[in-house]
Amino acid sequence: MNREKRTLIFQRLQSDNPAPRSELDYSTPFELLIAVILSAQATDKGVNKATARLFPVANTPEAFLALGEAGLKEQIKTIGLFNSKAKNIIQTCRILNTKFNNKVPQNRDDLESLPGVGRKTANVILNTAFGQPTMAVDTHVFRVANRTRIAPGKTVLEVEKRLLRLVPSEFLMDAHHWLILHGRYTCIARKPRCGSCIIEELCEYNKKVYSDT
């Protein structure tokens, strides 16, 4: 796929949704961090239901530490893997409290040093909370990047690096939101809704010949 076609794709995605945002509910970088940790193997809808109960009770590292692991488990027990997530979150809050003055760090190395935070989560925080042009590649982004041929790759890291290199710079800040939403609602896993897709004729899905430039 050439640069011109990629530009047209993102122009259409931008025109359709000029100000994309995460579907997780949050009001601070810390709340976003907690929500993203909770979202692993869970739906955003399920996480939002849990955090609607949780955040009025605790929404700072200090408040989470006061709540404790057992109290946190009670608040998030509707979410899958809540035992391990509660343990990681309390450990993360302890580190934020002792090492980072209760602030969410704004660099990848420090973020990835927190329990429960991997590369994808760090990228979400850097982009969504702090406005850095990173690319968080989840299953939706991975599928859309490969299926459309915007930035095909065999691994999540390969797709991330190709997207960062190939997405036109003027769209990079919002690109991962557009791709997530497109994969979640249009380019779905089992049967993509090509007939209602705004980039259908630009997509190279099922084409026999690709030109990856």
Active-site annotation holds for 120? yes
The CA distance from 95 to 112, in Å, is: 12
The CA distance from 153 to 163, in Å, is: 10
Active-site pick, 77, 138, 154, 207: 138
Positive/negative CA dihedral, 156, 202, 165, 211 = positive
Active-site pick, 44, 77, 103, 120: 120
Residue 177 to residues 17, 116, 118, 145, 211: CA-CA distances in angstroms? 10, 22, 18, 13, 25
The CA distance from 87 to 7, in Å, is: 43
3-state secondary structure of 25: coil
Active-site annotation holds for 174? no
Catalytic residues: 120, 138
